[in-house]
Structure 1
Amino acid sequence: MGTILASIICVRGGQSLKTGTLLKILFLLIILLVGSIKIKQELFSTGGQTVPPLSEEITGNQTTLVIATGDMSGVYFPLGQAMADLFRKYDGKSSGTQVTNASVQNTKLVSQKQAEIGFSTVDVLALPEYKKSEVLALTGIYSNFIQIVTTENEIKTLEDLRGKRVSIGTVGSGTKLMSERILKAANLASYDMDISTLSFTQSADALRNGTIDVAFFSSGLPNPVIAELAAEMEISLVPIPKQMADRLHEEFEYYTLDEISGQTYEGVESTPTLAVKNVLLTYPDLPKQEAYQMVKTLYDHLPELQNAHPEAKEIKLAEATRGISIDFHPGAKQFFEEIIH
């Protein structure tokens, strides 16, 4: 800005601009500056929610493959980074990750072609506001487990959440969607609790500081921030009763009764809960060969992906197309058909 001002104060022959002319130019510069800021803000806004800027690795001028992930303390983010590394290493693609509020927001970003790949749970894809034609599946991956974490010894059941301070996950996350359905099944309304919508990291910090009593997490196992919290202090997981799990499965077939092993978190015993499958999404206009190559690269180099997080060991080619409620991209279909035959 200083250089621009210096250049407009002087004209050919060393004559100064008249005060009125200078003021007009300054006024125009201010308008341009404000407009530029507004445009930048709009570029990173979707549906009233702020989308964090792209990571440094993908802010160059080269066309970039963007992977919409989730909270940096979850599982989507490290796996997304590992995938970006694979695409750069083996396909020569300029690729990187986008930190988001996870499933709901990722689905929106992919449908709007603001990301080439997005992580999502399959329950989000059944929401009426997301037309199935706007996104296609690349591959099913591992499952998310609902983890209801508390530091309070007296909280043993979902009914014990009544009157407590509870974080149900960020707006635009699969955690919030799933937690709201569980609370409804437990006959708990929002006014029965002091509800907050915190991220994984914020929830862990709030549990640590005693500003909330319970936090819902929907993620792969182990969740890094829960593992860190369990190593620091005594925590427990609130179980999902089988009867409730069966009712939820009847209403939402993609929710299944599962168990969080007692080996997952320090000092926490095995706990029954709900699980829901994850899927990688893309948009229909992505070229067939590009989609084919992305899926092929993931499975050709799966051991490298598994080094990023233990949950990647649950990604199995034999289960890649099971339990997915939307159509697969033609490129992904071609890959799986070749493997089968």
Structure 2
Amino acid sequence: MKTGTLIKILVLLLFLLIGCITVSRELFPSGVQAVPPPSEELTGSQTPLVIATGDMSGVYFPMGEAMADLFRKYNGKATGTQVTNASIQNTKLVSQKKAELGFSTVDALALPEMKKRKILALTGLYSNFIHIVTTKSNIRSLEDLRGKRVSIGTVGSGTKLMAERILKAANLASNEMDVSTLSFTQSADALRNGTIDVAFFSSGLPNPVISELASEMKISLVPIPKQVAESLHEEYEFYTLDEISGQTYTGLERTPTLAVKNVLFTYPDLPKQEAYKLVKTLYEHLPESQNAYPEAMEIHLSDATAGIPIDFHPGAKQFFKEIIH
């Protein structure tokens, strides 16, 4: 083969490769995990469904993956999950139709600015528990956080929202600490290498990154005092005093803390029948998710609509009305 012909073939192959990469990026932007299309025997809509989740080391991400599996398997829905900063960022993505579904804690959904965003609930889910993780033996209370290096969660996360409210209720000002805004993964790494002393996590139980950290080194959880919890409950009724049991993580004792409910939501323009099918699929096949992820064991149809500060999508309303009657 002549050299000139060989070069032409190589150039043609290079253009074809670049074209494939470009198409892939257009269909699934950065941060979205592409999911293989469903089998031909499924007759559902092939419009991609993107679920805005959270940090890959949190619970939102694997829960989103589990839901994506269900929707692909039973609804014939090409589905992907997008890694985000969680609650507040998810509401922005969904309201701007950059994602079809998203997870959020109810405290984030109750923020005044959320009234300006067009989002509707599909169902309530499990609860998040605040974990205040430290590697220091001399940090046993919120008061001990003064003068320490503290990660309060990423900007746009429910973790940061709760952390700031807890610190305020405990009369701790941000200028009394060296505050950073790290993700779950970054916080765990910073605790490992000693660049921070304390990290806040708002997560379902158990949180994977905390489980891994507890198996590697000595850590402890800082309790939230009853008076701080009661104060926050009075001001924001959706926070409840709860506990992380001693069986949740290796070597950790029972710890009083705050819990807050999670919600799966969408935008109003999602077709009613599609929203109905998504909620129906979630509950009809919930045992599959429960077998894969322990957090799904805390999703109960009986309290799916309780304590949600935003309106429900008409498709979700139809499903719950049928179940009630």
TM-score (norm 2): 0.88
Q: Is the 8 A contact 2:121 2:266 kept in 1?
A: yes
Find the counterpart in structure 2 of residue 311 from structure 1: 295
1:279-301 residue CA offsets vs partner (Å, 9 max, x unmatched): 00100111000000000000000
In the alignment, which of 186, 199, 203 is matched to residue 219 of structure 1?
Answer: 203
Larger radius of gyration: 1
What SS class does the counterpart of residue 202 from structure 1 fall into? helix
Q: Is the 8 A contact 1:168 1:195 kept in 2?
A: yes
Find the counterpart in structure 1 of residue 306 from structure 2: 322
Find the counterpart in structure 2 of residue 110 from structure 1: 94
Find the counterpart in structure 2 of residue 183 from structure 1: 167
1:147-166 aligned at under 5 Å gives the runs: 147-166=131-150
Q: Which AA in structure 2 matches 1:201? A: T
Q: Which AA in structure 1 matches 2:35? A: E
Find the counterpart in structure 2 of residue 262 from structure 1: 246
1:195-238 residue CA offsets vs partner (Å, 9 max, x unmatched): 11111011011111111000000000000010011111111100
What SS class does the counterpart of residue 154 from structure 1 fall into? coil
Find the counterpart in structure 2 of residue 281 from structure 1: 265
Find the counterpart in structure 1 of residue 33 from structure 2: 55
Q: Is the 8 A contact 1:147 1:216 kept in 2?
A: yes
CA distance in 2: counterparts of 1:86 and 1:309, whole angstroms: 13
C-alpha deviation, 1:164, in angstroms: 0.3
Find the counterpart in structure 1 of residue 43 from structure 2: none
Find the counterpart in structure 2 of residue 120 from structure 1: 104
User: Unmatched 5+ residue regions in structure 2?
Assistant: 1-6, 13-21, 38-45
CA distance in 2: counterparts of 1:125 and 1:54, whole angstroms: 23
What SS class does the counterpart of residue 144 from structure 2 fall into? helix
Q: Which runs of 4+ in 1 moved over 2 A?
A: 56-59
1:1-341 aligned at under 5 Å gives the runs: 52-57=30-35, 63-131=47-115, 134-341=118-325
Q: How many residues align?
A: 301
Q: Is the 8 A contact 2:34 2:81 kept in 1?
A: no
Q: Which AA in structure 2 matches 1:120? A: S
C-alpha deviation, 1:309, in angstroms: 1.4
What SS class does the counterpart of residue 286 from structure 1 fall into? coil
Q: Which AA in structure 1 matches 2:119? A: V
Q: Is the 8 A contact 1:132 1:326 kept in 2?
A: no
What SS class does the counterpart of residue 138 from structure 2 fall into? coil
1:115-172 residue CA offsets vs partner (Å, 9 max, x unmatched): 1110000001111221266110000000000000001000000010000000000111
1:77-112 residue CA offsets vs partner (Å, 9 max, x unmatched): 001001001111001011110010100100111111
Q: Is the 8 A contact 1:69 1:98 kept in 2?
A: yes
CA distance in 2: counterparts of 1:238 and 1:132, whole angstroms: 36
Q: Which AA in structure 2 matches 1:277? A: K
CA distance in 2: counterparts of 1:281 and 1:313, whole angstroms: 20
User: Unmatched 5+ residue regions in structure 1?
Assistant: 8-36, 45-51
C-alpha deviation, 1:56, in angstroms: 2.8
What SS class does the counterpart of residue 264 from structure 2 fall into? strand
What SS class does the counterpart of residue 57 from structure 1 fall into? coil
Q: Which AA in structure 1 matches 2:175? A: Y
Q: Which AA in structure 2 matches 1:57? A: V
CA distance in 1: counterparts of 2:137 and 2:100, whole angstroms: 44
Q: Is the 8 A contact 2:229 2:241 kept in 1?
A: yes
Q: Which AA in structure 1 matches 2:188? A: A
What SS class does the counterpart of residue 32 from structure 2 fall into? coil
Across the aligned residues of Structure 1 and Structure 2, the Cα RMSD in angstroms comes to 2.2
Q: Which AA in structure 2 matches 1:136? A: L
C-alpha deviation, 1:63, in angstroms: 2.3
Q: Is the 8 A contact 1:58 1:64 kept in 2?
A: no
